[in-house]
């Protein structure tokens, strides 16, 4: 069954990107205008994040988002048969000397980024360009055939995949190595009662404690990464230092810094973030107040705090 799925997709990846973009344009029309895939979720999320924008402005962002979403899908297929020369032409690393300087010091690093397009290209570019042993955390796919295909795709350029469902055990072989750990840190945590809570675009949202906890425990440097598009199919991945030595930081401070960074990136490139996932699907409850790390607690608790 695996090869029945993988074979046709691989053959599709052999087509030139310009032809694949014709297919992408066709899929966009079907997805946005005919099927309306998660359209209500996207528009609701945009209203939550940008209430100050007009409906026309939010719809414009939504349309651009769907085009970028489909392009990312098509570009990911292309990665199945692409080589390093192709990737180097389509992804530029900016401020890569930051990682090199940390590596020269023997410093382990976590890279925190969001679901910004095209994170699959970024993963491949990290692995290809960094001197580090690059560990990429991923969420296993329920369908075993697609999970196998994506594991093959994501490890082609040297990424060592670490399943998010068994991180601690999977990282044991690398605990004494100088590694770079890539984390897409804007996932909705499974246990929201134990998560950090913070205002994200002015609305309470949970963020996983794991990335911060690991950085503080190992005094691992944290680098933030943002991705932006210069033209269709061409991306820049830019690094900036989040914190050099986080061990002395207060609980929640690093996550708060990451969330504010993520907000800034999304506001700058609003059509490049994954609006189709329900980032505010978890409801804030009074009993979470001890996990609040934002600047100002939610209004409903200001009187009692």
Whether the CB-CB separation of 202 and 299 falls below 8 Å is answered with no
DSSP string, 24-57: HHHHHHIIIIII-TTHHHHHHHHHHH-TTS-HHH
How distant is the alpha carbon of residue 15 from its chain centre? 27
- 251 lies in some domain: yes
**What does each of the 305 residues of the chain score in pLDDT, given as a tens digit?**
888 889 999 999 999 999 999 999 999 999 999 999 999 999 999 999 999 999 999 999 999 999 999 999 999 999 999 999 999 999 999 999 999 999 999 999 999 999 999 999 999 999 999 999 999 999 999 999 999 999 999 999 999 999 998 988 999 999 889 999 999 999 899 899 999 999 999 999 999 999 999 999 999 999 999 999 999 999 999 999 999 999 999 999 999 999 999 999 999 999 999 999 999 999 999 999 999 999 888 875 443 33
Could you tell me if residue 134 is inside a domain? yes
Residue 305 belongs to a domain: no
Closest CA to 218 of 176, 165, 260: 176
Does some domain include residue 94? yes
Domain enclosing residue 205, as ranges: 2-284
Residue pair 181/99 in contact by the 8 Å Cβ criterion = no
Angle formed by the axes of helices 39-49 and 55-79, nearest 10°: 120
Tokens of 175: 């605990």
The verdict on residue 258 lying in a domain is yes
Region label for 103, one of left (φ > 0), alpha (ψ between -120 and 50) or beta (otherwise): alpha
Does the residue 290 lie in any domain? no
Measured torsion, CA atoms of residues 67, 70, 71, 73, in degrees rounded to the nearest 10: 160
Number of domains in the chain: 1
Q: Give domain status of residue 294, yes or no.
A: no
* CATH number where 213 lies: 3.40.1130
Task: Tell me, yes or no, whether 99 lies in a domain.
Answer: yes
């Amino acid at each position: 069954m695996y090869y029945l799925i993988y074979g046709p997709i691989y053959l599709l990846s052999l087509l030139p990107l310009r032809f694949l973009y014709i297919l992408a344009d066709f899929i966009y029309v079907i997805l946005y205008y005919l099927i309306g895939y998660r359209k209500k979720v996207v528009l609701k999320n945009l209203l939550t994040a940008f209430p100050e924008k007009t409906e026309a402005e939010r719809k414009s962002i939504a349309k651009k988002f769907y085009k970028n979403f489909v392009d990312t899908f098509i570009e990911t297929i292309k990665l199945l048969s692409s080589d390093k020369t192709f990737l180097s032409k389509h992804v530029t690393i900016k401020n890569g000397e930051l990682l090199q300087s940390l590596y020269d010091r023997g410093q382990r690093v976590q890279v925190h980024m969001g679901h910004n397009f095209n994170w699959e290209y970024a993963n491949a570019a990290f692995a290809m360009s960094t001197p580090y042993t690059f560990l990429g955390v991923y969420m296993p796919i329920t369908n075993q055939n697609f999970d196998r295909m994506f594991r093959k795709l994501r490890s082609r350029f040297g990424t060592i995949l670490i399943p998010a469902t068994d991180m601690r055990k999977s990282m044991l072989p690398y605990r004494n190595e100088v590694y770079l750990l890539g984390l897409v840190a804007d996932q909705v945590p499974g246990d929201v009662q134990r998560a950090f809570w913070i205002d994200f675009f002015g609305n309470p949202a949970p963020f996983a404690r794991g990335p911060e906890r690991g950085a503080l425990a190992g005094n691992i440097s944290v680098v933030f990464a943002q991705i932006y598009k210069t033209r269709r199919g061409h991306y820049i991945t830019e690094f900036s230092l989040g914190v050099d030595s986080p061990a002395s930081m207060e609980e929640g401070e690093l996550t708060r810094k990451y969330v504010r960074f993520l907000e800034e990136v999304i506001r700058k490139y609003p059509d490049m973030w994954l609006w189709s996932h329900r980032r505010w699907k978890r409801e804030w409850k009074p009993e979470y107040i001890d996990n609040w790390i934002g600047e100002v607690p939610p209004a409903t608790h200001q009187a009692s705090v």
